[in-house]
Chain A
Amino acid sequence: MLDISISYNRYKFLGHEFLTWLWYIIENDIELINSLQQDPVSLVIGNRIVLENKVHDAVESITIKGNDAGLEEGILSLKKGAVVTEINLSYKTGSQEWSFNIKGESLNISSLKTPETGPIEKKQDIEGVVIEKIFLFEKITKLIDSLYKEFIKKRVSNDWSKNIVPAIKKWISLNK
């Protein structure tokens, strides 16, 4: 295996491509996301998206944030060659809702908010709440793993350059 710090920097583009592909999938192929989950889910872009565009040696960063922010600027950045480097997602299944940020280069999760757990009123309650909380966090780690696994499967297949990339390009060019 490659040295960790070398592989981190050399292949962070995979994380950026993953998030860019994910945005495309959310907008165009939610059935794919549902097929990877046990129960029907809803996954939508939340209140923040960060894109980066490398122009020669300089890096241009675009952040779109706010609950009602439109994503037109993001599409415009994609048209100019940017990729998604960080995204806030809102995930729902049944009546439960999660929100979190995921960073492409590290796949680190931040600002993860889970559905409410039971209250801690006495010391004995801690164990139950901890187990419940871990179960709720696992929903997100499993979601990310299944999506990333699917992305990698597609990324190494011939389908990637033949069909998927052209479809993403078409989506970008037709989007306003």
Chain B
Amino acid sequence: MGLLSPTASITRYMVKGKLEKPILESIYNELIKNSIKEIDNHPAEQIVGWTSFENPYLPDFEGSSFVIGSHLIFALRVDKKNIPTKVIKKHYNQEMSKRLKETGLEYLSRNEKKEIKDYVTNQLCLRIPATPNIYDIVWSYEEGTLWFFSNLKSANEELETLFKKSFKLSLIRIFPFTSADLMSDISDVDRDGLTKSSPTVFTV
């Protein structure tokens, strides 16, 4: 459901603040610094990072490739290992039986059970490849606007966190209140009136 997909979902943001000049260099440096890293054959369950729009599986930001027209175009990639609960349960039970047999104990403590669960999850994470999810971004730096091509709450939260960490700029989501407050050219008196307003009743 990205920028070039037949249908798109867009969450809109305003970007407050300015970057250090030269701007493109600042953006390039942060994209590189926070670009996605591979976690296959690694115990991590999830990783989030920037990737390039044209080749999201091999991030490449060289030669201002993230600039198209007056827009900055790149993507957020979230790689996650989805291990079915039943698979974890099976390996956890096998490991627990093994541990009980080895120690000759009848029960394991809560801490020991947690240790086994962490161990099993880590072992499975090493064997399961991460599933990549890619969400395109169109950032119009001069206009101070950003489009994120997903309405998923979790993906939007990952974007807001990584964007702040990378660029140290505020990302303000556009929704009824922020749009009225920041984009509607209303007077302070009217803004005050709006914040005190309550829902209209349309029934007779």
A18 in contact (CB, < 8 A): yes
A111 in contact (CB, < 8 A): yes
A106 touches which of B69, B175, B194 (Cβ 8 Å): B175
A15 touches which of B6, B175, B191 (Cβ 8 Å): B175
Q: Are A8 and B10 in contact (CB under 8 A)?
A: no
Q: Are A130 and B7 in contact (CB under 8 A)?
A: no
Question: A residues within 8 A CB of B97?
Answer: none
A171 to chain B, nearest CB (A): 9
B9 in contact (CB, < 8 A): yes
User: What is the bound-complex CA distance between A9 and B134, given in angstroms?
Assistant: 28
User: What is the bound-complex CA distance between A86 and B83, given in angstroms?
Assistant: 34
Q: Are A130 and B183 in contact (CB under 8 A)?
A: no
User: What is the bound-complex CA distance between A112 and B147, given in angstroms?
Assistant: 13
User: What is the bound-complex CA distance between A1 and B71, given in angstroms?
Assistant: 28
Q: Are B184 and A148 in contact (CB under 8 A)?
A: yes
Q: Which of chain A's residues has its CB closest to B136's CB?
A: A130
Question: B residues within 8 A CB of A155?
Answer: 194, 197
B200 in contact (CB, < 8 A): yes
Q: Are A156 and B193 in contact (CB under 8 A)?
A: yes
B173 in contact (CB, < 8 A): yes
Q: Which of chain A's residues has its CB closest to B160's CB?
A: A4
User: What is the bound-complex CA distance between A80 and B202, given in angstroms?
Assistant: 9
User: What is the bound-complex CA distance between A3 and B139, given in angstroms?
Assistant: 24
Q: Are B203 and A172 in contact (CB under 8 A)?
A: yes
B180 in contact (CB, < 8 A): yes
B-binding segment of A26-34, A59-67, A89-97, A133-141: A133-141
B57 in contact (CB, < 8 A): no
Q: Are B174 and A107 in contact (CB under 8 A)?
A: yes
B138 in contact (CB, < 8 A): yes
Q: Are A13 and B204 in contact (CB under 8 A)?
A: no
Mask: chain B, 92-125; 1 = CB below 8 Å from A; 0 = not = 0000000000000000000000000000000000
B40 in contact (CB, < 8 A): no
User: What is the bound-complex CA distance between A172 and B203, given in angstroms?
Assistant: 8
Q: Are A109 and B201 in contact (CB under 8 A)?
A: no
Q: Which of chain B's residues has its CB closest to A13's CB?
A: B199
User: What is the bound-complex CA distance between A142 and B8, given in angstroms?
Assistant: 16
How many residues of A are counted as interface, with CB atoms below 8 angstroms from the partner's CB atoms? 57
A79 to chain B, nearest CB (A): 7
Q: Are B9 and A14 in contact (CB under 8 A)?
A: no
- Given A127-B68, A130-B3, A153-B186, the answer on whether A107 and B176 have CB atoms closer than 8 Å is yes
Question: A residues within 8 A CB of B172?
Answer: 4
B186 touches which of A2, A127, A156, A161 (Cβ 8 Å): A156
A121 to chain B, nearest CB (A): 14
Q: Are B151 and A108 in contact (CB under 8 A)?
A: yes
User: What is the bound-complex CA distance between A137 and B9, given in angstroms?
Assistant: 10
User: What is the bound-complex CA distance between A169 and B3, given in angstroms?
Assistant: 40
A2 touches which of B68, B174, B177, B204 (Cβ 8 Å): B177
Q: A-side interface residues toward B, CB under 8 Å?
A: 1-2, 4, 7-8, 10-18, 20, 78-81, 83, 103-114, 120, 123, 126-127, 129-131, 133-134, 137, 141, 145, 148-149, 152-153, 155-156, 160-161, 165, 168-169, 172-173
Other than the given A107-B174, A149-B185, 6 more pairs (CB < 8 A) read A7-B177, A13-B199, A15-B176, A78-B203, A156-B190, A169-B203
4 residue pairs, one from A and one from B, having the closest CB atoms: A15-B176, A11-B177, A156-B190, A14-B176
